[in-house]
Amino acid sequence: MNDFSRVAIYINIRLSFLHFSLHRDIINFKDFLLVLFFNNNNIFWLMSVYSDSSHSALKYLKDTKVNIQNLLIMTRDFNIHDSLWDPSYPHHASISDNLLIIADLFNLDLSVPTNLVPTRYSDNKNGSNSVIDLIFLHSGSNELDNHIIHLEWHLSSDHTLLTITIPIIKEHITLSKHFISNGSEEEEVFIKNVFWIIKNLNMSNILDSSSLDNLVNSLTQEVKNAWDKHSKMVRIMKYSKSWWNDKCNHDLETYRSTRSLDDWKVFRRTVKSTKRTFFDLKIQEIANKKQGLWKLMSWVNK
């Protein structure tokens, strides 16, 4: 049996801010691709399916318990001829009922195209064209509308393309943040301040959950006030470096003012040493955690 997948998903690099990820841990079958993305602090799913003439993919879904919330779209080639979606086909197939039941379990409805034209084109002049590529959309969604079948786009392929627009909610992107440099005098003072706040907490009045909530809220506010007092506002840039510290700033400013080769060498040594220390500590921190190896690989690839 051929174990190669017969589905593929291409994601434009300009959509990388939505953090798409493939999940074989939920559906591990060669003819499924299940992808999630994030938008406005919510998780959404997309599913691409190829069901062969034996309907292997549908049988797998029918026999497998899959719990997915917020599945927006299930689409592609289902290899089912039915009068429900193909006006030129006069019969109803029993396997269609299984497909509709599966779609209903995912809270999906069959999408009706804006143009009723075939999606699969026969390479035999005597053969008939058909509709076997379908789209199922999240039930009751006001944002997702009917899809379009692009008759002119199939070119040399026997299948043509279907498109639908998924609206993306605009997100507020923070361009600045409060920041304390690692190892700085401000960090030392902030930590001492937090220790003092915790040391002087009055816990004698904790009589019930309400008084505990009040104490926690008070602690949170005091720590926030200390952070705001000792941190500085910095602008988040595309090339912001998490390892950069005050010593790097100082040596860079020194070089800029003198333009001395010796000061440039001092600055480069500072950068090299700072980066090495930062990444050694970061690697050690991640590696010592549970599932450290996998988290480390994920961090390295960012």
Q: What whole-number distance in Å separates Cα of residue 100 and Cα of residue 104?
A: 6
Q: Which long-range contacts (CB under 8 A, 24 or more apart) does 185-191 make?
A: 186/230, 186/231, 186/232, 187/230, 189/230, 190/226, 190/227, 190/230, 190/231
**pTM tops 0.85:** no
Radius of gyration of the chain (CA): 29
d(CA 289, CA 296): 10
Q: Per-residue pLDDT tens, the chain, 302 aa: give them.
A: 457 788 988 998 888 888 899 988 888 888 999 999 988 778 899 999 999 989 999 999 888 888 888 899 999 999 999 999 999 999 999 999 999 999 999 999 999 999 989 999 988 777 789 999 999 999 988 778 889 999 888 888 889 999 999 888 765 555 567 778 777 888 899 999 999 998 888 888 888 888 888 888 888 899 989 988 988 877 655 445 667 778 888 888 888 888 888 888 898 899 888 888 887 777 776 666 655 544 544 544 45
Q: Do the beta carbons of residue 278 and residue 242 sit within 8 Å?
A: yes
What is the C-alpha separation between 85 and 268, in angstroms, rounded? 67
From CA 149, how far away is CA 31, in angstroms rounded? Answer: 22
Contact 245, 186 (CB under 8 A): no
Rounded CA-CA distance 140/136 in Å is 12
